[in-house]
Amino acid sequence: MKKFENIIFASDVDGTFASYMQPMAQRNIDALKYFRENGGRFCFATGRNHYDINTVVKCDHCEIAGLPYVLCNGSYLYDPIKKEIIDPLYLDAASVKELFAAIRREFPESGVRTTTEHGFLALDDDLTVRRQLARYGLDGMLYTVSARDFTGDGVFKIVVSSDDLDTVEEMRKYIIANFEGVFSATRSTSKIIEVLPLGISKAYRLAKMRDEMKKENPDIRLFCIGDFDNDIEMLSEADFSFCPSNACERVKAIAKREVCHCNEGALAEAIDYMEKLI
């Protein structure tokens, strides 16, 4: 029996595996290879899609991936080896159009975009989204349509954003109040709200994955690590949870163990601790 064969390990990307625009900690890659070689199964669980994840995770996915990745905070799974989307769950098209119109009407200085299988989609007059994506070098993944031609079809998630933190919170409350029973809305950073199909999350996907694997191996346990609000449900669902030292206080309050800063190799330290537990 290999030492990690009863463990699923899921990690957030931004602020957990690495910081955007910062070098990956090679310590993490080495530890994930060791984890996989010793029977462990690893996946990322992130709000990113199958395009922009590669702007942060700059390594050979074949070396670390043991399970499909949970992308767009649970809207779909993705096989990074075969490069295939698995079990996509889309937002209701009519509701997507309604939310777009509402955000542009009520919060005209904010940006609103979607994620589809082709990348990021925004309306062609949304200069805020263009500016925000260009700031992070992601504007090449953006395509646009006119408001008249926007159908709302094929959308995994909606992202609404603002550089004003008070506006972000106002938008979150507005979405919850006006789209109750349709969408869930959670922050993925201090400036971004991610809107998903109701009931869909990282936790939903990972719990389903664990339960399926338990049918063949009842000893399977889920270990998770994350740093921000959109990780809280996942960390609560886990059999054991970690957070990096740079995590927000809400996450630190529920994680069972705090490890080092993400830039110093938080996943590696988590794997070291797992090895002591088993």
Residue-wise pLDDT tens digits, 172-183? 999 999 998 999
> Is residue 188's pLDDT more than 90?
no
pLDDT in tens, 119-162: 999 999 999 999 999 988 899 999 999 999 999 999 999 999 99
> Is residue 252's pLDDT more than 90?
yes
Domain ranges of the chain: 7-87+201-277, 93-197
Q: Band of the pLDDT at 58, cuts 50, 70, 90?
A: confident
CATH class of segment(s) 93-197: alpha beta
For 7-87+201-277, CATH gives: 3.40.50.1000
Q: What is the pLDDT of residue 60?
A: 85
Burial class (CB in 10 A: 0-12, 13-18, 19+), 89: middle
Give the number of other CB atoms < 10 A from CB of residue 275.
16
* HSE-up of residue 171 (Cα within 13 Å, Cβ side): 33
Question: Are 155 and 113 spatial neighbours (Cβ–Cβ below 8 Å)?
Answer: no
Instruction: Give the residue, 193 or 1, on which the prediction is more confident.
Output: 193
Q: Band of the pLDDT at 105, cuts 50, 70, 90?
A: very high
> Is residue 20's pLDDT more than 80?
no
Mean pLDDT along residues 71-78: 96
Q: Is 254 strand, coil or helix? A: coil
Q: Band of the pLDDT at 212, cuts 50, 70, 90?
A: very high
DSSP assignment letter at 14: B
Q: What is the pLDDT of residue 62?
A: 81
> Is residue 242's pLDDT more than 80?
yes
Q: What is the pLDDT of residue 1?
A: 80
Average pLDDT of the residues of the chain:
95
Q: Is 72 strand, coil or helix? A: helix
> Is residue 218's pLDDT more than 80?
yes
Q: Phi, psi at residue 28, to the nearest 5°?
A: -65, -45
Q: What is the pLDDT of residue 189?
A: 86
